[in-house]
Structure 1
Amino acid sequence: MSIVSLATGDPTCNLSDLQALATANNFTIQPNSANETAFLLFANSFDATCQAVQNLPKYHDPRLEPLQVEGGERTYYRPDEIENPLNGWAHKTTLRLPGAKGVLAGKTIGFKDNVSIAGLPLGLGCSPALLKDGKHPISTIDATIVRRVLEAGGTVRGTATCENLSMFALSYTSDSGVVHNAWLPGYATGGSSSGCAALVSIGDVEEARNSGRDGRKYELGEGLDMAVGGDQGGSIRLPAAYSGIYGLKPTHGLCPYTGIASLNPMIDHCGPMTRTVEDTALLLQVLAGYDGIDIRMSPESPLRENVPDYTGDLSAWIAKKKEVGEWTPTTSAKGLRIGILQESFQAPGLSEEVRSTVLAAANRFRTLGADVKTLSIPLHAHAASIWTVATRPQMPHFIANNPPDLLTHPLPDLDPSFPTQDFFDNLANRNPAVVNVLMNAAHIQQRYGPALVRKAHMHAWQLRAAYDQALEDFDVLLTPLNPTVGPRHPKGTVKTEANPHGRSERVMELFEPAIGNTLNTCGLNVTGHPALSMPVGWGRVGDDGEGRLPIGMQVVGKRFGEGMVFRAAKAWEVGGRWTDS
């Protein structure tokens, strides 16, 4: 079809529109010229092409069509404060397949509120005022991981609160308010998968109460057996560490991200958050494997039928060690090569309490029979800077739900409205990190241009190679996670009669507690290595030091080497679970 025939309808672009298009591209077209006539025709031809696609009916890939659940209709509700005292729930439902059987049968699972579950709102932790139609869209697709959980017999109980647009490392920026730590309400759960961590950790708190180790009597509400969080810079691992559960950022491209709101495909990860190593391995086995849609997956990503039997492999390894008498508090880690990453213990802001607790946990591997050595990766000290510059310029593009350059399946109905003055006014005193990302992206574009971003991408390869080389000599690397134990929620985020929305008037009150939280985590998002947050001890909190909150340790493995990470974590537990300390 020719340009002329496409443009024979009523023109939608006039000369003023044409000149505006030229100005947007930093040039002008001579008025009353042949060029002006030709390019006006081109503009109207292109608009006719756009209208042709605009008029097509909506299409969803059938692999994402909602599964038929028990009862047929999918319903949901927003629980009130009495039912949801920690504010961990975004929306509750009950979805399972008829006659559900499978490895997750009897397990309850929740998803971070940036995951598409057909029939439920996609909340993103943000105000509906940030969306063009002023309301959260109701998802019309099931994310790949939702379908897999249902097909494995799991019961989907709903979505868990997440931090505003998934961009904060602590748990007080969600539009619905603070998410309380189940171990100590009033303190941070960690973010951005904050609700996931709070709801999963309820089980451990209840167990402590039932055993008489914790005599406090505040309300917890319903918890979850498992959850699936998202992680672009630490958003699974940090809340897991603050909350005393296990949280795995799998190898990049192992678990499909299809149907989940993106911050940047280079660093988008989703993964399990559970109370045990075994459940983490089990849920990973359900989630993992190529889905044929996600651009984050590569030739290294296993097909579904080739996903390792993580639970079976772990059980077989333990059985073999038991057979030779090595599953003991002095030999369970025999044969493992453990590396303590020196630079990770030098991160600015790391408290002495966290440093000493994680070092003691790392050194426990010696008593368990492992070969433990300290190693140095100097580039680790620059990992956060590399992550920031390599990924930040593209974040506004993906926050807006713009599709990437490669074919994928975007979220069908999500249409954020930014940047505007209303956008700034809504977020500056709720989650200033989002505004900061937009400002940073503009800063790089205006002052440095794409050359700096290209350089950061090349250094990301260098950082990956540095970790890869270290993991030739070690089975896993160990680092701290949360730089301090969970801090109190800032006063300005607590809802009162005078401040019913919990909106702080002081930006630094919100921002300062989160500074440096991702220094040991975000670099692994650009390199793609698997990293597990595992709880290893307690830290003191409160003015009198009488409160206590969990401390986590990060276990890093080779890319697609999750099995070894599970072995190391399980061997450590033979010396006693963290709750026993």
Structure 2
Amino acid sequence: MSVVFLSTGPPTGICRGHTVTLTELKLCAVDVEKLRSVAKKLNVVVDEKEEEHYRHLLNGLDATNKQIAELPAYVDPRLLPCPSTLPRSYEKLGGTREKNPLNTWSHQTSIHSSSPTDERLKGKTVAVKDNVSIAGVPLTGGTFPELLTGKSEYPIPEIDAVAVKRVLESAATVRGSANCEHFSMSPLSFTSASGPVHNAWLHGYTTGGSSSGCAAIVAATQVRKWRRKHGLSPIDAELGEGVDMAIGGDQGGSVRIPASYAGIYGLKPTHGLIPYTGIISLLPLVDHIGPMTTSLQDNMTLLSVLAGYDGIDPRCTPETPLRKNVPDYAGLLRSWTQQKEAKGEWTPQASGRGLRVGVITESLGVLGLSDEVKAVLEAAIAQFKAIGADIQEASIPMHLVGPSIWTIATRSDVTPAQFDQKAFEVLNKHNPAVVNMFFNSTFLNELPNANAMIAKALTHVQELRAAYDEVLKDFDVLLTPINPRVGSKHPEYDMNAGEKMEPAIGATLNTCQFNVTGHPALSMPAGWGKIPDGLGMLPVGMQLVAKRFDDLSLYKAAAAWEVAGKGLDKWNGQAN
């Protein structure tokens, strides 16, 4: 005997016409006490004469849930690894000093396609943040497996993230996964489960987070090139293997902040331009991945490879171009520079003619912005003037409110898969920022006006976007600092939570706004600054922001600025 539930929609919990046997109902039956418990959580008392009806309806939901639970896991065939990239193997490097002196690598591979569809990345090596799925390679999310899945082993994905598939299709070699910070929740690089990730320019100092390994792996290649250019002796043993480019993730600044500390180029593209499919998500509203490279040329090429609608990721919008319509950013920049060359404008005195650059006034007044960073930004502004750009101050008062909007719009959804005393003790030792996030989320969700405040913050996201859009009517790009201070020393593990968190305070005050508004933002090397607790020097970056889906303008402004001298070439000869 069986019972057929004829449901009109999800509230009654079962598909129209689905047949559930009485045996199944007994296995998943909801009793009256369960109904009363559900009602109590909603501060409701159900009249006894109505209880049986609502219990009956909950039974339908329970049966529906059971049906879904019994379905086999589904793997979208579009994400399965291409046979031309198989077989695969990997080596776990973890904290092995000899092979991994900067602690940049999580797992090393050497994956390439024997039948790529194009050769845009031929000869290039690529690493991906360790929240990006590579089929057959463990995925750590920068944390311990027990905190990630509740098991003692890391999951091994069956799929390649869309970003991985695309670089393989373009003839790159994927060299493996790069360490990242616990749950991608730190702007500094001491919180990974495998230990601190070191700055390639100065061991023992932060390289920023949460795409820390990506930044340091690319910077290892950058340091080698830079030392050769300046006639300095090689330090290969201190750097380990580097790569040409990496794919980092950014929810509040996690591509741009480490790119700035590492002296490389890091792009947070327009939201939805690059699919996020196959990557551990924090929140779709702010999830981005982007290229991290040693040069603008490589950054543009990698963006063209990665961008375009994939038919899967809901972060993509009607504005996201189909892959066949993705701009050739490098080609378009080349055409633009050739036009300027023909007019005699591609010189240190004229490369910026026609560019309109707005310096966000409020960005120079954020909490904790150091004199060292201000000096680098002032010199960068002077260089824009020197190349003939029209550079002016642009006041956007909401820029200072942006971090609060970002926080309330996103923080309530940051909830752990599991969190108990043991997890607290582990995270308190390694990354208090994660504990703070979980406490924040719980606190916000328990406020009596929680839903109203989150909804209000989301409306202000639109107001914030409109504020930038309005100013961008008058400018091609906006300019801000990125990190408020020059890179700091890694804290000691026996420090308390306050001491560990202190260097991170204010780190995202000029970056997180553009995660909720979706505007593209590029971090590029602008100069050097003295470290706060020693005699060494570390790179300082600047941020360029453009209209949504006008990522090309970032590259134009950056290339024009560098005609008068690249940021890393402003070295004063002081060795670290």
Tell me the CA shift for residue 543 of structure 1. 4.2
**Greater RCO structure (CA 8 Å; 6+ sep):** 1
> RMSD between aligned alpha carbons?
1.7
SS at match of 1:47: helix
SS at match of 2:502: helix
- Equivalent residue for 2:120, pick from 103, 126, 140: 103
- Equivalent residue for 1:47, pick from 55, 62, 74: 62
Say if 1:285 and 1:143 are closer, same or farther in 2 by CA, change over 3 A: same
Instruction: Give 2:441's aligned amino acid.
Output: A
Unaligned runs of 5+ in 1: 401-416, 493-503
| Residue in 2 that maps onto 1:305 | 324
| Residue in 2 that maps onto 1:449 | 450
| Residue in 1 that maps onto 2:5 | 3
Tell me the CA shift for residue 199 of structure 1. 0.2
Alpha-carbon deviations, 1:185-233, whole Å to 9, x = none?
Answer: 1000000000000000111211233235444745111001000000000
Alpha-carbon deviations, 1:525-547, whole Å to 9, x = none?
Answer: 111000000001001126442x1
Say if 1:14 and 1:299 are closer, same or farther in 2 by CA, change over 3 A: closer
Question: Runs of 4 or more off by more than 6 Å in structure 1?
Answer: none
8 A contact 1:345–1:480 mirrored in 2 = yes
- Equivalent residue for 2:517, pick from 524, 527, 545: 527
Alpha-carbon deviations, 1:13-54, whole Å to 9, x = none?
Answer: 353444433334443446xx4434333333333222222222
Tell me the CA shift for residue 358 of structure 1. 1.1
| Residue in 1 that maps onto 2:39 | 22
Say if 1:125 and 1:253 are closer, same or farther in 2 by CA, change over 3 A: same
Count of residue pairs the alignment pairs up: 547
Instruction: Give 1:175's aligned amino acid.
Output: A
SS at match of 1:576: coil
SS at match of 2:92: coil
| Residue in 1 that maps onto 2:547 | 558
8 A contact 1:3–1:42 mirrored in 2 = no
- Partners of 1:206 and 1:552 in 2: how far apart? 19
| Residue in 2 that maps onto 1:74 | 88
Instruction: Give 2:413's aligned amino acid.
Output: Q
SS at match of 1:6: strand
Instruction: Give 1:392's aligned amino acid.
Output: R
- Equivalent residue for 2:504, pick from 497, 514, 529: 514
- Equivalent residue for 2:306, pick from 287, 293, 314: 287
8 A contact 2:358–2:478 mirrored in 1 = yes
TM-score w.r.t. the length of structure 2 is 0.92
| Residue in 2 that maps onto 1:571 | 560
Alpha-carbon deviations, 1:426-449, whole Å to 9, x = none?
Answer: 212211111211221222222232
8 A contact 1:263–1:395 mirrored in 2 = yes
TM-score w.r.t. the length of structure 1 is 0.91
- Partners of 1:14 and 1:306 in 2: how far apart? 53
Identity %: 50
| Residue in 2 that maps onto 1:394 | 413
- Partners of 2:195 and 2:232 in 1: how far apart? 27
| Residue in 2 that maps onto 1:436 | 436
| Residue in 2 that maps onto 1:137 | 155
8 A contact 1:85–1:220 mirrored in 2 = yes
SS at match of 1:391: helix
| Residue in 2 that maps onto 1:382 | 401
SS at match of 2:377: helix
In the alignment, structure 1 residue 363 sits paired with structure 2 residue 399: no
- Partners of 1:216 and 1:146 in 2: how far apart? 31
In the alignment, structure 1 residue 580 sits paired with structure 2 residue 569: yes
In the alignment, structure 1 residue 242 sits paired with structure 2 residue 242: no
| Residue in 2 that maps onto 1:475 | 476
Say if 1:220 and 1:573 are closer, same or farther in 2 by CA, change over 3 A: same
- Partners of 1:87 and 1:439 in 2: how far apart? 29
Say if 1:44 and 1:7 are closer, same or farther in 2 by CA, change over 3 A: farther
Tell me the CA shift for residue 425 of structure 1. 2.0
Instruction: Give 1:114's aligned amino acid.
Output: N
8 A contact 2:399–2:464 mirrored in 1 = yes
Unaligned runs of 5+ in 2: 7-18, 571-576
Alpha-carbon deviations, 1:484-515, whole Å to 9, x = none?
Answer: 110000122xxxxxxxxxxx351112111101
| Residue in 2 that maps onto 1:325 | 344
| Residue in 2 that maps onto 1:464 | 465
- Partners of 1:284 and 1:190 in 2: how far apart? 22
After TM superposition, the structure 1 stretch with the greater mean CA deviation from structure 2, 276-285 or 47-56, is 47-56
8 A contact 1:7–1:41 mirrored in 2 = no
